[in-house]
Structure 1
Amino acid sequence: MRFQVIERAADSAQRPLTPGQVDAIVRRAFGERTRVASAVELGDGTYNTTFRIVLETGEELILRAAPEPARQFRSERGFLRNEHAAAPYFAPIAALLPRTLAVDFTHDLLGRDYVIQTVVPGVPAPEGLAGYERSDWGSFFRGLGQISRKIHSVRGPGFGPVAGPLAATWSEALGTQLDLIAQDLDDLRLDAADVRALAATARRRRDLLDRITEPRLLHGDLWTINVMIEPNAPEPTVSGVFDCDRTWWGDPESDWAIYRALGKPGDVRNAFWDGYGALVQDQAARWRRLFYEARNLATIRLERHRLGQRAGVAASYEEITAVARRLKELEPPA
């Protein structure tokens, strides 16, 4: 077996696998006679340990192993189980998603959850977009908008992670998530006061947040890093979507794709709105979007810490402070 791993820090959540473990996983999933020709770890993801596997038959597979439970943040536990639970709800874009071939949550072989999936066809979007003039990227972002709209068309039974626990109201789901993030920051001995203030705001202004009464499906992490594009197409065209482990039920305007599309108005990202449609622009909706921005920055702080980005962690405090100031200025009367 040709075997290649990425060297990581000893305290990284993305722990390596051994050739023996990969071999055992594949034989458990596909039979004792199955043989692995190569297993190469992929480096684009920041949470799961991911391998591209080629069998001796030539078939290619993706193996994704979650961090060990003890290395998972409270606010990020069970992500692969959440993705597995969410899969049926992604029916509107099923043709773009990988097919899951094997699932093992028993922890017999690894002490970790893992899944084996088909390879999504195409070229990673960050790499593929570089082959086009930036002025031609509009078709790609328009496609992201259309895909996001299809995902957001799916209705759910409650608010929160698809695998649960679900909340009866949107404010409760947001408050609970922010509480968990604050506890994660406590565990890391990082200041969590601003995140606790956001949790308190979610409960204090439930009158604004709970105007969202119908839970909709949110991908949670849809942007260029989790998208493939068709190779050699006349214009950049989405051919695949993956990494749906952060899927939630909630307000579509809180989804990661909306946050990213709003991040740089005036450039080619504006094509996203041609595909998605216009957002509501009343004061309450604009206030909610600011609140979602602060909530996303709180999750980003944890990811920056996990990746060892100390300067980014420090910058997140200034970023949330700036958004909190704008929230206060825009907040409608109670």
Structure 2
Amino acid sequence: MRLHSVDRPAGAFQRPVTADHLRRISRRVFGRDAVSAVELGLGMYNSTYKVTVEGLERPVIMRFAPEPARQFRSERELMRNEHATVPYLSAIAPLMPRVIAADWSHELIGRDYLVQTLLDGVPAPERLPGYPRPAWTSYFRRLGEITRTVHGVRGPRFGPVGAPAYDTWSQAVAGSLNEIAADVEAAGLDGADLRAAADLAVERHAVLDEVTEPRLLTGDLWTVNVMLAADAPQPTITGVLDLDRTWWGDPAADWTIRLAAARQDERLSFWETYGEPDRTPEAVWRSMIYEIRHLGAVRLERHRLGQAGRVRESYGDVAAVLAKII
């Protein structure tokens, strides 16, 4: 079979799979040989391939998680978390890839993998810049609708959809901050600022525990995980993908909300369909705790990508937020 992999430096976090792996998985799932495969390079965590299979009309997507030993504890089994979330995403099912097969057995390869249908469209980072900026408002309005739909889904307990589960929101937030801090420390970095935020979450638990109803958070929904129609006159979302960081909690803690609020530009139209954010003093305090959690996760990603300078910058960013809430 023909295989084209992304050229990455030695030691890169994302590791390729072999043609033999892809052939054996194709035979297990479809009973047919894979003809060709192209690795897709947009993501920064899983390894993703578009695979043409003998006798199938359309290519399929095969996604491979990192080997278990290479996963941070705060990012453990994200692919399994994504798969566990599928039953809760029926309201946006027409936009989601369909799971053809999921395999956690590690019999064919020592990594979790998913086989999914190929979504129509073009990755939004490639297509959106082709529209004039004023046209982007329709894109952000639609993104607001999709996010609001996901946030409308109610869950049983707080925390990642797969596990662990917490009885209260403060416990989930403190637990997540401590897990990220442990990963930072295991990487040889200082996690004291994140542990200070976790302690604040425990100390001021009553403010966090005003959030009493777990709602579904997308975890990572933004332009990089959106597909657009190739030739539509206005940006038209045809699919969303890679919702592997979903968890149950306060919608204001979602990565999508953070990015929607990050700039005063076309993305202001997001709020037209999503609804205005809560700006009470308690909600603002919670948002700063969430920001520290986001900054901790970003610190880990920067470390994984070898961005030492940006890792150092993250300490000043966290310190500035901590100073406002202590």
Scaled by the length of structure 1, the TM-score of the pair is 0.95
What is the CA distance between 1:43 and its match in structure 2?
0.8
CA distance in 1, matches of 2:151, 2:75: 22
Whether the aligned pair in 2 keeps the contact of 1:13 and 1:72 (CA below 8 Å) is no
SS at match of 1:103: strand
Q: Secondary structure at the match of 2:238?
A: strand
Residue identity matched to 1:309: Q
Alignment correspondent of 2:316: 318
SS at match of 1:239: strand
Counterpart AA for 2:59: E
> Matched residue pairs, number?
325
Contact 2:58/2:118, CA 8 A, preserved across alignment: no
Give 1:25's aligned residue. Answer: 25
State the AA in 2 paired with 1:100: V
Q: Which amino acid aligns with 2:161?
A: V
Secondary structure class of the residue paired with 1:284: helix
Q: How far apart in 1 are the matches of 2:228 and 2:308? A: 33
1:56-102 deviations in Å (ceiling 9; x for gaps):
33421111000000000010001011011010000110100000001
For residues 226 and 312 of structure 1, the distance between their equivalents in structure 2, rounded to whole angstroms, comes to 23
| Structure 1 position 275, deviation (Å) | 1.3
Partner Cα separation in structure 1 for residue 182 and residue 156 of structure 2:
27
Structure 1 distance, partners of 2:166, 2:94, is 30
Whole-angstrom CA distance in 1 between matches of 2:231 and 2:322 = 44
Corresponding position of 2:298: 300
Partner of 2:262: 263
Query: Which position in structure 2 is the counterpart of 1:246?
Result: 245
Residue 309 (structure 1) aligned to one of 307, 310, 314:
307
Distance 2:25 2:54 in 1: 15
Quote the Cα distance in structure 1 between the aligned partners of 2:325 and 2:36: 51
Equivalence for 2:40: 42
Residue number in structure 2 paired with 1:201 = 200
Q: Whole-Å Cα distance in 2 between the matches of residues 85 and 29 of structure 1?
A: 20
Name segments (4+ residues, structure 1) moved above 4 Å.
none
Q: Distance in 1 between matches of 2:179 and 2:7?
A: 30
Task: Give the Å deviation of 1:280.
Answer: 1.4
**SS class of match (1:86):** helix
AA matched with 1:12:
A
Q: Secondary structure at the match of 1:137?
A: helix
Give distance in 2, aligned partners of 1:278 and 1:233.
29
Superimposed CA distance per residue, residues 161-195 of structure 1 (whole angstroms, 9 cap, x where no aligned partner): 10111000011011111111111111110011111
Aligned pairs for 1:1-334 (under 5 A) are 1-31=1-31, 34-57=32-55, 58-264=57-263, 266-328=264-326
Where structure 1 has 5 or more consecutive residues not aligned to the other structure, the ranges are: 329-334
State the 1:215 CA deviation.
0.2
> In structure 1, how many angstroms separate the alpha carbons of the residues matched to 2:149 and 2:230?
24
Where 2:44 maps in the other structure, the secondary structure is coil
- CA separation in 2, counterparts of 1:73 and 1:11? 16
Describe the SS at the equivalent of 2:239.
strand
Cα RMSD for the two superposed structures: 1.0
Distance 2:282 2:27 in 1: 54
Task: Give the letter for the 1:20 counterpart.
Answer: D
The answer on whether the counterparts of 1:160 and 1:173 sit within 8 Å (CA) in structure 2 is yes
Moved more, 231-240 or 83-92: 231-240
CA distances 1:188-230 after superposition (whole Å, capped 9, x unpaired): 1001111111111111110100000000001100000000111
- Please tell me whether the aligned partners of residues 26 and 53 of structure 2 are also in contact (alpha carbons under 8 angstroms): no
Deviations 1:111-158 (A, max 9, x none): 110000011111111111111001110000111100000000000000
